[in-house]
Amino acid sequence: MAEVEATLPARRRSLARRAADEFLRRREASILLVAIGLAAYFQVAKPVFLSRGNLVTLSQYVAPVAIIAAGEVLLLVSGEIDLSVGSVYTLAPFLMHYAIDYYHSPAIPAILLVLLVGALIGLINGLVTVALRVPSFVTTLGTLFAINGITLLTSHAYPAEIPASAAGIGRWLGRADWSELTWAVLIVALFHTVLTSTRWGLHTIAVGGNLVGASEAGVRVGRVKVANFMITSTLGALVGMLEAFRVNTIDPSAGGTEIMFAAVAASVIGGTALAGGSGTIIGAFIGALVLGTLRDGFNLIGISAEAFDLILGIAILGAMISNVHLARLRRAGRT
C-alpha cells in the first residue's frame, strides 16, 4: 500500500516527461512554441487578438501563404525551388476572367481550366529543369518574368472585375470568412499525408536527400520532380483565384514575388531544409501562422509601415534562431 503511494507520483511525473519528450521530438514542436508565444504576446498586448473578427483576418494572412508553402515544401524536399509561383497566382484570376467573359465558359469549367493551365506551367518548369538541366532557380526565375509579362500584356496592366457568373461559387473559393482557411487545412492535411505516409512522399525525400542513390534504387527522379513542380504551380493558381474572390477584384499587382518569398520563408521557418531531403508541411503551415501572426499582430498594435519591415526581419531572425536552437536541444535530448 505504502509502496504504491510512493511510486504513483513518480510514475505520473515520468508520464508527463515522456509526453513532453514526445512533443519536443516532433520537428514542428519548436516553431509551434514560437507561434503560441507570439499569439500570447499579442493577446496580452491587444486583447482583441483572439476575437472572432481578428481570427478571420489572421486566417486570411495565413491561408494563402500556407497553401503555396505546401507546394514549395514538396519542391524544396526534392531539392528544387519554384520562384514563379507568385506570377502564376497573378495570372490565374485573369485567365478565369478571360475564359468566362471572352469565351463564354461557365464558371466551374473555367476554374478547372485555370488549374490545368497552372499544372501546365508547372510541367514546363519541371521539363526545363529536368530534361534541359537548367537549375530550377534559373528556370523559374525566367518563368517568373515571362508569366508576369503575359499577365501585363493580356490585361494591359489594368484590373478586372470578378465575372458575374462566378460570383456565386466565390463563396466557396475565398469569399466566405473561413473558406480560405478551410482550403488551407485540407490541402496541408492532404500533402502532409502524401509526404509522410505514401510511396510518393518517400520518393520525394529520397530524390532530395540522395539523387544518385534514389535513381539507382529505381526511383524515377525526373518524374517525381516534374510532378512536384506541377503541384506547386496548380496550388499557386488556386490561391490566386481564392485571393481574387476574397478581395472581389482581379489586380495585376497582386501576388508576385512577395507571396512567393512569404511561402519560402514559411517553409524554412517551419523546418524545411533549403538543401533538400528534409521538410514538413505541417511545419510550413505553422511557419505561415508565425508570419501571419506577426503581420496581423503588428497591424493590431499599430506599428507603422517604415518600422514594420525592420521589426518583421528581426522577428523572423529571432523565430529562426530560437527554432534552430530548440531543434539542437531536441537532438541532444534524443541521444
Partner 1 sequence: MTQIDPRVEEAVDTLPLSAITRRRLLSGAGLASAGLAASALLAACTSKKSTAAAAGVGAFAKTPKWRFVFVNHVTTNPFFVPTQYGAADASTLLGTTHQWTGSQNSIVPEMVNATNAAISAKADGIAISVIDTKAFKTPVDQALNAGIPVVSYNADGAVGNPGSSRLAYIGQDLFTSGVKLGERIVSLVSGGDVVGFIATPGTLNIQPRIDGAKKAIVSSGKPITFAEVASGALLPQENTTIDAYVTGHPNLKGIFAVDAGSTQTVGQIIAKHGLKSKGVAGGGFDLVPATLQAIKAGNLDFTIDQQPYLQGFLPVLYLFLYKLSGGLVSPPETNTGLLFVTKDNVDPYLTTKTRFEGSSTAQQVITRSGAIVHA
Q: How far is the CB of 17 from partner 1 (least distance, A)?
A: 39
Work out whether 106 is an interface residue with partner 1 (CB under 8 A).
Answer: no
Answer for which of 20, 22, 25, 161 binds partner 1 (CB under 8 A) is 161
3-class secondary structure per residue, 222-251: HHHHHHHHHHHHHHHHHHHHHHHHHHCCEC
Question: Total number of residues binding partner 1 (CB under 8 A)?
Answer: 39
Closest CA to 74 of 243, 236, 221, 208: 208
Closest CA to 299 of 34, 121, 51, 42: 42
Answer for which of 28, 34, 54, 265 binds partner 1 (CB under 8 A) is 54
Work out whether 20 is an interface residue with partner 1 (CB under 8 A).
Answer: no
List CB contacts of 259: < 8 A, sequence separation 6 or more: 64, 65, 68, 85, 86, 89, 239
- Contact, 274 vs 72, CB < 8 A? no
Name the E strands within the chain.
none
Q: Which stretch binds partner 1 (CB under 8 A): 52-60, 203-211, 229-237, 314-322?
A: 52-60
Answer for which of 196, 197, 258, 325 binds partner 1 (CB under 8 A) is 258
Answer for which of 70, 119, 254, 315 binds partner 1 (CB under 8 A) is 254
Residue 3 grid cell: 509502496
Work out whether 158 is an interface residue with partner 1 (CB under 8 A).
Answer: yes
Q: Which stretch binds partner 1 (CB under 8 A): 4-12, 58-66, 110-118, 223-231?
A: 58-66
Work out whether 60 is an interface residue with partner 1 (CB under 8 A).
Answer: yes
Work out whether 249 is an interface residue with partner 1 (CB under 8 A).
Answer: yes
Pick 152 or 189: Cβ nearer partner 1: 152
- Residue linked to cell 519541371: 126
| 250-253 contacts, C-beta under 8 A, 24 or more apart | 250/93, 250/94, 250/97, 250/155, 250/159, 250/160, 250/161, 250/162, 251/159, 252/90, 252/94, 252/151, 252/152, 252/155, 252/157, 252/158, 252/159, 253/90
Q: How far is the CB of 103 from partner 1 (least distance, A)?
A: 22
Neighbours of 171 (CB within 10 A): 12
Residues 298-327 that bind partner 1 (CB under 8 A): 299-306, 308
Pick 174 or 271: Cβ nearer partner 1: 174
Residues that bind partner 1 (CB under 8 A): 46, 48, 51, 53-54, 56-57, 60-61, 64, 156-159, 161-162, 243, 246-249, 251-256, 258, 295-296, 299-306, 308
